[in-house]
């Protein structure tokens, strides 16, 4: 069992680094390649002054749940849940990352796919990503990894936060929603600090970081670090799903779940591990157990993402207000700030137009709608899209004026060549179908439902 004190992946410096997991993915043994490229996941360290402060500091009614948080993380929780940190007030981080919905949501938006901001009739442009298990994402960088199809080394973007990786780590992720006019709409860091200083939990911030924290030149960074620490606490990564119980011998799959798992990991069928990676046994695990197994029994080794970016060619979502303009396209990675300047010389940024970060599939059954733009409402449709995008495109895309299927209609034609058509199941041709396709889709959906943590099960 994972203890509640298993607070992995706090980034407060680059010392004390240890590898936490190894995964397979579309770029081969990604975990080991990340380690070789220096993209290590940082081991957990305690929050500031966690050994000297009471977790109830600054709060007169800390409940039993909060009592398990160290003071720095409790401060992060206070900030995370504070609706006074938006302009106008009323929207907190928790408004779009609800604890009961695997830390995603839409702030009561009338458009399921996207969240509404703090101002009336202002909406986002992408689905809110879940914060669950996001503490495991490595800091953004580029890595040289072997392509699973060609075997050739490619320099690819890895990690970071948001769908386009524009925040290098969780601390930097915190400021994105705060100052985005479409989200919390604060004018600047000074206003954020002023509001925390005037909040009921200001004394907790001073207890954690010192009496002069609000006058510190690094005040924002310290407060953001508290939020990132809270987002790395066990409640965001509980590892309490049926799948985790199955890994550790406490549960048995149904026949449908078992078939779904086999299809999921089979490179000639679902081939899902090629992007939603996980499961390679680490050398430490093999040494500890005395057994050499191709797949790990350690839940931490099953994050169901390789943290890379892929171009799926998801259908356009007409419900997103910005999409009323036919010339508007969300191009993902290549539109992120400074994309050209951060890319190494051997990376053609235009080839990453339409690329979005591969999300974890943990809690995917309660995380709909699906894809970066929320184009598909149900998990079954999302799975079916992978299998039939190229065999039956008319199922997913509208027809244009001349009656042809407008495939990849959420990308300008010059970027259609970026869409992944090489890996199974994308490499199927129009009219080609798999044997017992409906059954296989249902089986995979059944397996994916085993990835729901108990606290989020519905």
User: Over the stretch 87-99, which tens digit does the pLDDT of each residue have?
Assistant: 999 999 999 999 9
> Which stretches of 81-218 are DSSP H helices?
93-96, 170-179, 189-197, 202-209
pLDDT at 430: 75
As a whole number of angstroms, the distance between CA 304 and CA 25 comes to: 9
- Among 28-32, 184-188, 349-353, the minimum mean pLDDT is found in 28-32
As a whole number of angstroms, the distance between CA 109 and CA 350 comes to: 33
The answer to whether residue 428 is domain-embedded is no
Question: Which residue matches tokens 């996980």?
Answer: 278
Between these two residues, 287 and 95, which has the higher pLDDT value? 95
Please tell me the pTM assigned to this model: 0.87
Residue 353 has which token pair? 């137009």
The answer to whether residue 35 is domain-embedded is no
Q: Are 434 and 271 in contact (CB under 8 A)?
A: no
pLDDT at 324: 97
- Among 54-63, 74-83, 395-404, the minimum mean pLDDT is found in 54-63
The answer to whether residue 90 is domain-embedded is yes
Range of the domain at 138: 42-236
- pLDDT tier, 26 (very low <50, low <70, confident <90, very high otherwise): low
The answer to whether residue 180 is domain-embedded is yes
As a whole number of angstroms, the distance between CA 65 and CA 453 comes to: 17
* Average pLDDT, integer, range 360-384: 97
As a whole number of angstroms, the distance between CA 240 and CA 86 comes to: 33
- pLDDT tier, 249 (very low <50, low <70, confident <90, very high otherwise): very high
- pLDDT tier, 30 (very low <50, low <70, confident <90, very high otherwise): very low
Q: Are 201 and 78 in contact (CB under 8 A)?
A: yes
- pLDDT tier, 18 (very low <50, low <70, confident <90, very high otherwise): very low
- Among 118-122, 184-188, 254-258, 289-293, the minimum mean pLDDT is found in 289-293
The answer to whether residue 422 is domain-embedded is no
* Average pLDDT, integer, range 14-31: 39
The answer to whether residue 334 is domain-embedded is no
> Which stretches of 219-357 are DSSP H helices?
219-231, 242-247, 255-265, 283-289, 339-342
As a whole number of angstroms, the distance between CA 117 and CA 108 comes to: 10
Outline where DSSP puts E strands in 328-438.
356-357
* Neighbouring C-beta atoms of residue 344, cutoff 10 Å: 9
The answer to whether residue 225 is domain-embedded is yes
The answer to whether residue 161 is domain-embedded is yes
Percent of the chain clearing pLDDT 70 (strictly above): 82
Alpha carbon separation from 410 to 47, 96, 445 (Å, rounded): 43, 25, 26
- pLDDT tier, 294 (very low <50, low <70, confident <90, very high otherwise): low
pLDDT at 296: 87
As a whole number of angstroms, the distance between CA 229 and CA 7 comes to: 9
Question: Which residue matches tokens 């408004």?
Answer: 95
Mean pLDDT of the chain: 86
pLDDT at 169: 97
Number of domains in the chain: 1
Which of 1, 161, 43 lies closest to 97 in space, CA to CA? 161
Can you name the residues that pair with 116 across neighbouring β-strands? 123
pLDDT at 287: 53
Q: Is the confidence at residue 285, as pLDDT, over 80?
A: no
Between these two residues, 68 and 239, which has the higher pLDDT value? 239
* Cis preceding linkage at 112, omega within 30: no
CATH, residue 217: 1.10.760.10
The backbone torsions φ and ψ at residue 34, rounded to the nearest 5 degrees and listed phi first, read: -65, -40
């Amino acid at each position: 069992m994972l203890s509640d004190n298993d607070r992995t992946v706090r980034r407060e410096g680059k010392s004390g680094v240890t590898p936490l997991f190894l995964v397979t993915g579309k770029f081969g043994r990604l975990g080991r390649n990340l380690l070789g490229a220096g993209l290590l996941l940082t081991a957990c360290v305690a929050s500031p002054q966690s050994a000297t402060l009471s977790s109830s500091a600054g709060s007169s009614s800390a409940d039993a749940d909060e009592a398990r948080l160290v003071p720095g993380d409790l401060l992060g929780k206070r900030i995370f849940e504070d609706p006074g940190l938006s302009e106008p007030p009323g929207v907190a981080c928790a408004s779009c990352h609800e604890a009961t919905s695997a830390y995603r949501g839409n702030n009561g938006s009338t458009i399921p796919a996207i969240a509404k901001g703090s101002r009336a009739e202002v909406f986002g442009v992408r689905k809110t990503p879940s914060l669950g298990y996001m503490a495991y994402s490595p800091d953004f960088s580029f890595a040289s990894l072997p392509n699973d199809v060609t075997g050739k080394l490619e320099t690819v973007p890895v990690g970071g936060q948001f769908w386009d990786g524009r925040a290098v780590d969780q601390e930097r992720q915190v400021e994105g929603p705060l100052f985005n006019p479409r989200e919390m709409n604060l004018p600047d860091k000074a206003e954020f600090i002023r509001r925390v200083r005037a909040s009921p939990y200001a004394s907790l911030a001073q207890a954690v970081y010192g009496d002069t924290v609000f006058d510190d030149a690094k005040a924002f960074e310290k407060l953001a670090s508290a939020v990132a620490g809270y987002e790395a606490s066990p409640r965001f990564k509980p590892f309490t799903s049926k799948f985790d119980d199955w890994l550790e011998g406490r549960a048995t799959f149904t026949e449908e779940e078992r078939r779904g798992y086999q299809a999921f990991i089979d490179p000639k069928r679902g081939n899902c591990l090629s992007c939603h990676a996980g499961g390679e046994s680490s050398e430490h695990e093999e040494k500890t157990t005395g057994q050499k197994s191709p797949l790990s029994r350690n839940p931490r080794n099953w994050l169901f993402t390789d943290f890379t970016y892929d171009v799926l060619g998801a259908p356009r979502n007409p419900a997103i207000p910005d999409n009323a303009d036919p010339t508007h396209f969300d191009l993902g990675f290549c539109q992120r700030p400074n994309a050209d300047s951060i890319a190494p010389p051997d990376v053609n940024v235009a080839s990453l137009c339409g690329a979005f970060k591969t999300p974890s599939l943990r809690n995917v059954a309660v995380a709909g709608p699906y894809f970066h733009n929320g184009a598909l409402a149900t998990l079954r449709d999302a799975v079916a899209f992978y299998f039939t995008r190229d065999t039956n495109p008319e199922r997913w895309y509208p027809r244009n004026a001349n009656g042809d299927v407008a495939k990849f209609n959420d990308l300008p034609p010059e970027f259609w060549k970026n869409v992944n058509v090489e890996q199974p199941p994308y490499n199927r041709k129009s009219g080609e179908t798999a044997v017992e396709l409906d059954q296989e889709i249902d089986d995979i959906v059944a397996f994916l439902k085993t990835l729901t943590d108990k606290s989020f099960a519905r």
